[in-house]
Amino acid sequence: MRWVFAVAILLAIPFIFSLSTFIIMIINLTMIYAIAALGLNLIMGYTGQVSIGHAAFMSIGAYASTILVLKFSLPMPLGIICGMLLGAIFGLALGFPSLRLRGFYLAITTMGFGVAVEQIFGAWKDFTGGHIGIRNIPKLGNEVQSYYLILVIFLISIYIFHVLTSHNIGRAFKAIRENDLVARTFGVNLTYFKVLAFVIGSAYAGLAGALYAHTVGYIAPSNFGLSKSLELLAIVAIGGMGITFGPIIGASLYTILPFFFSRVNFSLSIIFGSILVTTVLFMPRGIGYHLYSLLLKYGELPLVLMKRRKRSKEGKYIQLSFGRMHYYENRPDGRAILCIHGNFGSYRWFKPLAEKLPDYRVIAVDLPNFGDSSRADSSLDFYARAVQEFIEKMQIKPVVIAHSLGGAVGMLLALKCSNSMQSLILVDPCPVDGLVTPTENMPYLELYKTNRSILRKSILGLLKTVKDRKFIENLVDDALKMNPESIYKHAIELGQFNVIERVKQIKIPVVVVWGNLDPLLTSKQIKDTSEILNAELKILNNIGHTPFVENPDLFIESVRSYLQGG
């Protein structure tokens, strides 16, 4: 949706600036330099190779398209394509030396290539016009026509770049960037991917050069000299290496700053250089990375706050000592089944199960700090006491189904009030010796507080086989209601959770259900937990972390004897 909104704005720009062709020209140049910088970003930001002669490929594309169109009457679209292909061919030629060079030596090689190309075009007067250059180059059209054509090419370039860097090729590039020896060990073909990065990156530069020639209408070797290569390098460094939209930010600053400082008698090189130094010192990963971080953290905060305030129209409330507990039940009587959800969960996770068990009184609660229940202490022991109080006040003796984090609560509950329970069904539960959250995953927990999209992606990862998208969206909205202050506390307590000795005191029947495709729990963790609990283990094939949601019928069949015993 955000991309649609962004494209709509881009399409409307000529109408917004209908009286200023100069501004549209500035935007056209911004997109052209962004395309060239995308190519350099692929070489340096994703593959970790150094190139200080990138503007040379722009000049190759510019001169190739210009000469083919002017001297050989080739149609302009074909000329632009030929300029791009010729840039790729020279990138192929330069890519092979990169296999034997790195760091400073590769930088010197690419810089020498850039200087050589500039001198060749300056000396080849019959075709290039020498250092004077070529004038009256056929243009793409007027500024507005050029804008829309460049915009289409720009968007296609971004899409191709995103596809390349988001899949196996992109992962290979990043592996080479981090450590080419390790990459080779894991089967990455260094020769192929290093050369491929140069070929694609140079093709982008060749395309940008051809578009530049047919937009400005004049080219000269000095337009694509060493200074231009260094400026492209600065564009990528300022915008952010290894980020798709980093070069776009850098290119925007590069082309817009001269417009703002055109009436000020101050060197633009000093201004742009100061921005570069500031970025390197205080934002080493580039402006784009920090803007992206801010967007992830705060961009969806208004939506999250709105969702967090929304209350469910389903269910009831019961007043307990800590406040109100929200719960849902499918019928007011019958054999009671009490369902305890996991982290970021709510009563709604058990609605598919309740629909499949109309003859049972299925009660699903929102634990304190979750869903529409009151905020309170975040400890697992407190949750167990809250559920115990709920059972006593509801005057039921249920079969308890406890999932994930709720599994830890269920074990503690069984230790506190086993006489008030029929049996305990643990579904993909927290192991008896705890579940440690990897250190690298902790920043994601922080984002879960304010970013719905990332939280949604995580829940979708657990429910790949569930087709009801409206149901999933409701689960995500419920997950946002979780008390943000509890997120870290849960992660820490689950990591420290250890009831190996205590659970041996549980006297009621216990069954452990585990989906063999669970991405969070290993088979060893589950088997060890089952043995320590002296529980029956039910393994469900081709099921993930939430069997009662992914395949309620199979789940019910696997625990039917326990349900009937309730």
- CB-neighbour burial class of residue 290 (10 A; exposed 0-12, middle 13-18, buried 19+): middle
Task: Kindly tell me if the per-residue pLDDT of 483 is higher than 60.
Answer: yes
The pLDDT, as a whole number, for residue 513 is 96
For the sheet with 316-320, list strands across it. 316-320, 323-329, 361-365, 336-340, 399-403, 423-427, 510-515, 536-540
* Coil, strand or helix at 158: helix
Rounded distance between C-alpha atoms, residue 507 and residue 513, angstroms: 18
Rounded distance between C-alpha atoms, residue 424 and residue 563, angstroms: 10
Q: What are the tens digits of pLDDT across the range 348-390?
A: 999 999 999 999 999 999 999 999 999 999 999 999 999 999 9
| Contact between 461 and 519 (Cβ < 8 Å) | yes
Question: Which domains are present in the chain?
Answer: 28-228 (no CATH), 314-565 (3.40.50.1820)
Q: Which residue has the higher pLDDT, 283 or 565?
A: 283
The helix-helix angle for 469-480 and 301-309 (nearest 10°) equals: 90
Question: 3-state SS of the chain: helix, strand, coil percent to 5?
Answer: 65, 10, 25
What is the CA angle 519-343-518, rounded to 5?
15
Q: What are the tens digits of pLDDT across the range 541-563?
A: 999 999 999 999 999 999 988 88
The maximal CA–CA distance of the chain, rounded, in angstroms, is 98
Task: Kindly tell me if the per-residue pLDDT of 44 is higher than 80.
Answer: yes
Rounded distance between C-alpha atoms, residue 510 and residue 315, angstroms: 28
Collect all residues with Cβ–Cβ distance below 8 Å to 155 and sequence separation of at least 6: 7, 10
Rounded distance between C-alpha atoms, residue 181 and residue 196, angstroms: 18
Rounded distance between C-alpha atoms, residue 406 and residue 318, angstroms: 20
User: Tokens 């990862």 appear where?
Assistant: 461
Region 430-456: mean pLDDT is: 89
> For the chain, how many helices (H) and strands (E)?
26, 8
- Number of residues in the chain: 566
* Coil, strand or helix at 511: strand
Q: What are the tens digits of pLDDT across the range 198-216?
A: 999 999 999 999 999 999 9
Rounded distance between C-alpha atoms, residue 119 and residue 135, angstroms: 19
Note the pTM of the prediction, 2 decimals. 0.79
User: Tokens 């307990």 appear where?
Assistant: 320
Rounded distance between C-alpha atoms, residue 25 and residue 9, angstroms: 17
For the four alpha carbons of 240, 294, 254 and 206, in that order, the dihedral sign comes to positive
Confidence of residue 487 (pLDDT cuts 50, 70, 90): very high
Confidence of residue 399 (pLDDT cuts 50, 70, 90): very high
Task: Kindly tell me if the per-residue pLDDT of 1 is higher than 70.
Answer: no
User: Tokens 């400082």 appear where?
Assistant: 261
Question: Could you count the other beta carbons within 10 Å of the beta carbon of residue 92?
Answer: 15
Give me the half-sphere count of Cα atoms (radius 13 Å) on the Cβ side of residue 299. Answer: 13
The pLDDT, as a whole number, for residue 467 is 87
Rounded distance between C-alpha atoms, residue 228 and residue 215, angstroms: 17
Which residue, among 280, 89, 307, has the nearest Cα to 202 in the 3D structure?
Answer: 89
Which residue, among 358, 386, 355, has the nearest Cα to 370 in the 3D structure?
Answer: 386
| Contact between 45 and 236 (Cβ < 8 Å) | yes
The pLDDT, as a whole number, for residue 400 is 96
Give me the percent of the chain exceeding a pLDDT of 90. Answer: 61
Q: What are the tens digits of pLDDT across the range 449-480?
A: 999 999 999 999 889 888 899 999 999 999 99
Type of residue at 272: F
What residues pair up with 401 in beta bridges, in sequence order? Answer: 339, 425
Confidence of residue 110 (pLDDT cuts 50, 70, 90): confident
Q: What are the tens digits of pLDDT across the range 118-134?
A: 999 988 888 888 889 99
336 torsion bin: left (phi>0), alpha (psi -120 to 50), beta (else): beta
Type of residue at 386: A
What is the distance of C-alpha 217 from the center of its chain?
Answer: 40
* Coil, strand or helix at 432: coil
Phi, psi of 41 (to 5 degrees): -60, -35
Q: What is the mean pLDDT of the chain?
A: 90
Rounded distance between C-alpha atoms, residue 145 and residue 369, angstroms: 56
What residues pair up with 399 in beta bridges, in sequence order? Answer: 337, 423
